[in-house]
Amino acid sequence: MDVTIFSLDLTLNPIAFSINIGNFSWNIYWYGIIIALGFLLALIYGYINAGRFNINLDRMLDIIIVTVPVAILSARTYYLIFDGEKLESIGDFFGFGDSSGFAGLAIYGAVIGAALAGSLMCKLRKVNIPDMLDLASLGFLIGQGVGRWGNFVNQEAFGTLTGSSWWGMESVNTIAVCGKGLVHPCFLYESIWCITGFFILNHFSKKRAYSGQIALMYCAWYGFGRAFIELLRTDSLMLGAFRVSSLLSFMLCAGAVAALVIINKKQKAINADKTYIKLFENNEEIEND
């Protein structure tokens, strides 16, 4: 597939390599490899930083083993619910037969599934849920930032036509949807947004004021960026006249910001009260002397 981006002409092949065994041929796609790379980097980050978030490493791995497959199935289910695709058999859900694998995944489905399954596993393995969500949020940003490049190889998750003459993108897929001209590389916007968010939130995580703060900041950061990026896309999942991801993103961002403001006010009140009590105790000591 010929692709133009940043005024560079590239040729992309979605298939990285094939495994041939007798009459059986199994194609390995770059999309899957890139997603796996994002997951691996997130796992390495979690392995290195688990202690900083007060999480036992062995218990964290138990949670991940259960959460990952649930997240993948949730991503597929979420996509099918809002896409309206009709399945003729259970095999179509998993991409068996004539399908090309899990063709149709939604990141929000994965995040929701991971949060629910992860929270349940935290209960079972006696891990503090807000601490785990803080660490997982940073892992999400790594995985999402890297994983979006799988959309580039597949030439999907792009936007409408843009007047740019150098950072826009064009391929057979974009021409089929938008016509001749450069389109917004939405995959790139989201990748940059997530990677930037990772560095910012990772910095804050080293001095977080309470458990769950980073998870709320993730919801606010990712929700804000995705809400606007989604408005540019041509392949949005729709709920009537509304773009599902934009609507959910605005709600997620607003809810997270509200929670951060409320909790921060309570934290300040608690800290102020502690300071008052300490000063009062010191005054008592002076009077007793």
pLDDT digit string (tens) for 102-118?
567 888 899 999 999 99
Q: Note down the domain range covering 138.
A: 30-55+128-288
Q: Reply yes or no on whether the pLDDT at 272 is more than 80.
A: no
> Is 255 inside any structural domain?
yes
- The domain total for the chain is 1
Q: Are 47 and 57 in contact (CB under 8 A)?
A: yes
Least confident piece of the model among 129-138, 176-185, 235-244: 235-244
Average pLDDT, the chain: 88
Mean pLDDT of the 237-253 span: 91
Q: Is residue 9 part of a domain?
A: no
Note whether residue 163 is domain-resident: yes
Q: What is the mean pLDDT of residues 256-263?
A: 96
Who's near 284: CB < 8 A, 6+ residues apart? Answer: none
**134-180 pLDDT per residue, tens:** 999 999 999 999 999 999 999 998 999 998 778 899 999 999 999 99
| 77 neighbors 110 (Cβ within 8 angstroms) | no
Check residue 84 and give its pLDDT. Answer: 66
Mean pLDDT computed over 189-198: 97
Question: What is the structure's pLDDT at 91?
Answer: 61
Confirm whether 243 is domain-assigned.
yes
Q: Distance (Å, rounded) from C-alpha 54 to C-alpha 214?
A: 14
Asked if residue 93 belongs to a domain, the reply is no
Task: Answer whether residue 276 shows pLDDT above 90.
Answer: no
Six-digit token string for 78? 């979420």
| C-alpha atoms less than 13 angstroms from C-alpha of 36 in its C-beta half-sphere | 6
Q: Which residue has the higher pLDDT, 228 or 284?
A: 228
**How confident is residue 21, by pLDDT bands cut at 50, 70 and 90?**
confident
The rounded distance, in Å, linking the Cα atoms of 106 and 211 is 28
Distance separating alpha carbons of residues 75 and 230, to the nearest angstrom:
17
pTM for this entry:
0.86
Q: Determine the pLDDT at residue 99.
A: 46
Asked if residue 275 belongs to a domain, the reply is yes
Phi, psi of 80, deg, nearest 5: -65, -35
Task: Give the pairing of strands 238-239 and 169-171.
Answer: unpaired
Is the predicted pLDDT of residue 271 greater than 90, yes or no?
no
Residue with tokens 């993103």: 249
pLDDT beyond 80 at 89: no
- pLDDT at position 61 is 94
Q: Residue 239: inside a domain, yes or no? A: yes
233 forms beta bridges with 159
Sort 270 into a burial class: Cβ within 10 Å, 0-12 / 13-18 / 19+. exposed
**Residue 117 resides in a domain:** no
Burial class (CB in 10 A: 0-12, 13-18, 19+), 212: buried
